[in-house]
Structures are given as C-alpha cells and as structure tokens.
C-alpha cells in the first residue's frame, strides 16, 4: 500500500422502500390484536418471512422481498422486531383450532 492511500470500503444498501401494502397489513394486524412483536426469518430466494405475534396470542405472517425491507416495514408500522425466538414470545403464541386440525391430518414420512 502506498503512503496516504488509506481507503475504507463502504457498502451502500440500495434496498427498495417497504411497500405500503405490507406496512398497512402489519399495522392492521397489530391494531386488531392489541399490539404485536415480529420475528424476521430469511427464507432464501423467496425473501424474508415476518412472523407477527399479537398480544392476545394470535399470530400471522407476511412476506417481504428481503430482510432489509422487512425491517423497514416493521419500523414504519411501529412493531418491535425481536432478534430471535425467545421462550416468552413462543409461550405467548396460541395456535388456532384450525391449525391443530390441519396438523393432525398430516402424516410423518418414514
């Protein structure tokens, strides 16, 4: 390296803005369930899954193009993003009866 050639590599994130439909969907879920928390999961080429857990135990998910867009959408909607699946958050979730029935119909492959 030559003298005085100190350079810093910077990466600019040119992620697209969070779509309004995604933000409004998160807002409406949170409003309908007394508030919500979110966990963002990277799902490869598909993008990112936003799992929303309401204060009443109901849960739903949304999909975003990537994790940056997912975090932007949650921030715009005023929903706290958890870093991981903590025990307290999982204990708060209450699966619906329809989900239990659908899981009961599934058989395990041997």
pTM of the model: 0.69
Could you tell me which of 37, 40, 45, 80 has the C-alpha nearest to residue 65? 45
79: helix, strand or coil = coil
End-to-end CA distance of the chain: 60
Q: How does pLDDT run across 36-85, given as a tens digit for each residue?
A: 999 999 998 889 999 999 988 888 889 999 999 999 999 999 999 988 77
> For 65, what's the count of Cα atoms within 13 Å in the CB-facing half-sphere?
10
Highest mean pLDDT among 16-25, 39-48, 79-88, 97-106: 39-48
């Amino acid at each position: 390296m030559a003298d005085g050639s100190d350079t810093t590599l910077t990466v600019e994130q040119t992620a697209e803005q969070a779509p309004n439909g995604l933000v409004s969907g998160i807002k409406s879920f949170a409003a309908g369930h007394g508030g919500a928390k979110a966990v963002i999961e990277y799902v490869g080429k598909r993008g990112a899954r936003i799992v929303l857990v309401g204060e009443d135990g109901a849960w739903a998910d949304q999909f975003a193009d990537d994790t940056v867009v997912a975090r932007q959408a949650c921030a715009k909607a005023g929903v706290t993003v958890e870093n991981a699946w903590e025990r307290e958050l999982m204990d708060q979730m209450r699966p619906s009866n329809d989900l239990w029935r659908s899981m009961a119909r599934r058989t395990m492959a041997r």
